[in-house]
């Protein structure tokens, strides 16, 4: 009898999936406590216990985002789901939006906004570039957007963009401030309320160390006011905040209605990861990422490598970008490291492809011993991968 190749053809049965050091920009390795949370028996997505789990997640996100926003929840989906949720709900066709692009994430948001018929204005720098508050204010004055988007942790370039003062500029010009903190949450300080960020989102699989598939997001009152007084319905039913706010018990209604089936195990793991970060404390986590990344920078420079972001204060502590060393093929280096050290590091992404190699040491992975292993693997690859002829 023929066997079903879907189940049996991959060669990866039972526990033959490899253990890897996930030292790229995510997903990162998941600590045993979070893995254990994910193996709990499934309960229904509308059971009262599940609502308690969701309430805990909401409180956890409020802490890690440093916000008191009631409209705080987790998307069923990756950071991208939160990105689309933010744009779909905040922007209506024909409205003007301003997108800061200095890597892949701004490019993506611009495309998403264009797909829903927004009038998209791009503020562009090459990967790793950053925008002064003056440049941002001038562009906001010129384009009069309803929304300004900025990436806090630009993982494709390894840049952690300053945020202070930008929320005030947006308020002054009656514009909402949307920030992507997928790659930086837990690794670098962000204060949603204090920094006047109107919409903030992140992902589960980076410094939070949960499996990919859930994405924290929060909206303040200004954002809610615009979002719930739209002329048109958002293009997506799944990401419609009118429904999601009810599913997450944020709309003040006594009953939660069925909207979609949330990722039950994903919510168990997200709750655990938020609990771990809360127990550790944000300050401690930020400090650790700063220390370990500084240690990694020294080691990389000792190997003769050049960091892609020259300004130390602007480097993203969770994802370090290295300029590709002259005479090497970056794909060969990364393949060698995977083959001989079972370690994932990655190349660039979007506009930074061919410019950088990236090492991510996030959350649970953020340890000097792991930095040592990454440096050892890189040193070995540099020695072993033949330099290509110029």
Q: Which residue ranges make up the annotated binding site for substrate? A: 358
Residue 210 touching ligand GLV (CB under 6 A): no
Residue 78: which residues within 8 A CB-CB, separation 6 or more? 203, 204, 205, 212, 213, 215
Q: How many residues bind ligand GLV (CB under 6 A)?
A: 5
Site map 91..120 versus ligand GLV, x via CB under 6 A: ------------------------------
Residue 241: which residues within 8 A CB-CB, separation 6 or more? 71, 85, 89, 219, 227, 228, 234
DSSP 37-71: HHTSPP--TTSHHHHHHHHHHHHHHHHHHT---SE
Parallel, antiparallel, or unpaired: how do β-strands 153-154 and 319-323 relate?
Answer: unpaired
Please report how close the Cβ of residue 199 comes to ligand GLV at its closest, in angstroms: 19
Helix (H, G, I), strand (E, B) or coil at 148: strand
Distances (CA, A) of 171 to 94, 142, 151, 163, 167: 21, 15, 18, 14, 6
Asked whether the bond before 27 is cis by omega within 30 degrees of 0, the reply is: yes
Name the helix (H) or strand (E) containing 73.
Answer: strand 71-76
Site for ligand GLV in 245-284 (CB under 6 A): none
Site for ligand GLV in 64-83 (CB under 6 A): none
Please report how close the Cβ of residue 320 comes to ligand GLV at its closest, in angstroms: 12
Q: Which of 290, 76, 282 is nearest to 185 (CA)?
A: 282
Distances (CA, A) of 87 to 73, 336, 353: 16, 40, 26
Q: Which is nearer to ligand GLV, 84 or 92 (CB)?
A: 84
Nearest residue relative to ligand GLV (C-beta): 155
Please report how close the Cβ of residue 104 comes to ligand GLV at its closest, in angstroms: 7
Q: Which is nearer to ligand GLV, 71 or 361 (CB)?
A: 361
Q: Which is nearer to ligand GLV, 227 or 349 (CB)?
A: 349
Q: Which is nearer to ligand GLV, 212 or 249 (CB)?
A: 212
Please report how close the Cβ of residue 183 comes to ligand GLV at its closest, in angstroms: 6
Please report how close the Cβ of residue 383 comes to ligand GLV at its closest, in angstroms: 27
Q: Which of 366, 362, 322 is nearest to 346 (CA)?
A: 322
Please report how close the Cβ of residue 147 comes to ligand GLV at its closest, in angstroms: 22
Q: Which residue numbers belong to the known binding site?
A: 358
Of 305, 349, 371, 381, which lies in the binding site for ligand GLV, with binding defined by CB under 6 A?
A: 349
Please report how close the Cβ of residue 59 comes to ligand GLV at its closest, in angstroms: 26
Q: Which of 230, 224, 231, 185 is nearest to 208 (CA)?
A: 185
Residue 25 touching ligand GLV (CB under 6 A): yes
Q: Which is nearer to ligand GLV, 227 or 316 (CB)?
A: 316
- Alpha helix locations (H) across 133-263? 133-143, 166-172, 221-227, 241-247
Q: Which is nearer to ligand GLV, 167 or 211 (CB)?
A: 211
Site map 148..167 versus ligand GLV, x via CB under 6 A: -------xx-----------
Contact between 116 and 235 (Cβ < 8 Å) = yes
Residue 261: which residues within 8 A CB-CB, separation 6 or more? 45
Of 21, 22, 23, 26, which lies in the binding site for ligand GLV, with binding defined by CB under 6 A?
A: 26
Please report how close the Cβ of residue 282 comes to ligand GLV at its closest, in angstroms: 21
* Distance in angstroms (rounded) separating the CA atoms of residues 240 and 229: 13
Q: Which is nearer to ligand GLV, 111 or 302 (CB)?
A: 111
Q: Which is nearer to ligand GLV, 129 or 249 (CB)?
A: 129
The site for ligand GLV (CB under 6 A) is made up of: 25-26, 155-156, 349
């Amino acid at each position: 009898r023929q066997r079903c190749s879907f189940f049996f053809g991959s060669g990866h049965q039972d526990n033959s999936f490899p253990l890897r050091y996930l030292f790229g920009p995510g997903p990162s390795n998941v600590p045993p406590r979070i893995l254990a949370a994910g193996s709990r028996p499934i309960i229904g997505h509308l059971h009262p216990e599940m609502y308690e789990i969701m309430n805990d997640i909401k409180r956890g996100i409020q802490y890690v985002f440093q916000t008191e926003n009631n409209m705080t929840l987790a998307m069923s989906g990756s950071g991208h789901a939160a990105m689309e949720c933010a744009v779909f709900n905040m922007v209506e066709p024909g409205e003007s939006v301003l997108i800061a692009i200095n890597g892949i994430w701004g490019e993506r948001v611009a495309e998403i906004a264009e797909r829903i018929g927004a009038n998209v204005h791009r503020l562009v720098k090459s990967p790793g570039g950053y925008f002064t508050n003056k440049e941002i204010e001038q562009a906001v004055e010129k384009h009069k957007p309803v929304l300004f988007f900025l990436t806090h942790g630009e993982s494709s370039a390894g840049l952690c963009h300053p945020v202070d003062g930008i929320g005030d500029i947006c308020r002054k010009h009656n514009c909402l401030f949307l920030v992507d903190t997928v790659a930086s949450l837990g690794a670098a300080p962000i204060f949603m309320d204090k920094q006047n960020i109107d919409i903030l989102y992140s992902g589960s699989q980076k410094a939070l160390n949960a499996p990919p598939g859930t994405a924290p997001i929060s909206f303040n009152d200004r954002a809610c006011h615009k979002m719930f007084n739209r002329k048109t319905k958002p293009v997506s039913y799944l990401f419609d905040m009118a429904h999601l706010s009810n599913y997450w018990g944020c709309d003040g209604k006594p009953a939660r209605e069925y909207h979609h089936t949330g990722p039950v195990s994903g919510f168990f793991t997200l709750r655990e990861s938020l609990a771990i970060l809360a127990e550790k404390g944000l300050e401690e986590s930020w400090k650790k990422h700063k220390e370990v990344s500084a240690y990694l920078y020294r080691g990389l420079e000792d190997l003769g490598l050049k960091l892609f972001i020259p300004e130390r204060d602007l480097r993203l502590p969770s994802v370090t970008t290295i300029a590709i060393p002259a005479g090497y093929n970056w794909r060969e280096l990364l393949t060698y490291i995977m083959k001989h050290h079972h370690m994932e590091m990655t190349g660039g992404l979007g506009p930074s492809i061919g410019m950088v190699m990236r090492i991510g040491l996030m959350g649970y992975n953020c340890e000097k011993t792991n930095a040592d292993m990454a440096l050892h693997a890189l040193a070995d690859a540099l020695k072993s991968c033949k330099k290509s002829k110029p």
